[in-house]
Amino acid sequence: MTPLSLSPVRLLVVVLAITASFCKIEEADGRRDGRVVIGAQREFDYFNLALQWPGTVCRRTRYCCSSNACCRGSNSPTEFTIHGLWPDYNDGTWPACCKRSNFDEKEISTLLGALEKYWPSLSCGSSSTCYSGKGSFWAHEWEKHGTCSSPVTGDEYSYFLTTLNVYFKYNVTKVLNEAGYFPSNTEKYPRGGIVSAIQNAFHTTPKLVCSKGAVEELHLCFYKDFKLRDCAASKSSCPKYVSLPAYSSRGRASW
Active-site annotation holds for 145: yes
Residue 53 sits in the site that holds ligand U2P (CB under 6 A)? no
- Maximum Cα interatomic distance, the chain, rounded to a whole number of Å: 72
**Smallest distance from ligand U2P to CB 194, Å:** 19
Contact 105, 136 (CB under 8 A): yes
Among candidate residues 79, 140, 145, 156, the one labeled active-site is 145
Buried b (16+ CB within 10 A) or exposed e, 127-137: bbbbeeeebbb
**Smallest distance from ligand U2P to CB 178, Å:** 28
- The number of helices, as runs of H, and strands, as runs of E, in the chain is 8, 13
Phi then psi for 169, rounded to 5 degrees? -70, -35
Strand (E) or helix (H) holding 51: strand 46-52
Active-site annotation holds for 203: no
Residue 88 sits in the site that holds ligand U2P (CB under 6 A)? yes
Residue 94 sits in the site that holds ligand U2P (CB under 6 A)? yes
Report the site for ligand U2P in 134-193 (rule: CB under 6 A).
144
The 99-138 site mask, x for binding ligand U2P (CB under 6 A), equals: ----------------------------------------
Distance CA 242, CA 181 (A): 11
Radius of gyration over every alpha carbon of the chain, rounded to an integer in angstroms:
20
Distance CA 35, CA 235 (A): 16
Residue 84 sits in the site that holds ligand U2P (CB under 6 A)? yes
Report the site for ligand U2P in 11-40 (rule: CB under 6 A).
31
Q: Which stretch binds ligand U2P (CB under 6 A): 56-64, 67-75, 84-92, 180-188?
A: 84-92
Footprint of ligand U2P (CB under 6 A): 31, 48, 84, 86, 88, 94, 144
- Which residues are known to be catalytic? 83, 141, 145
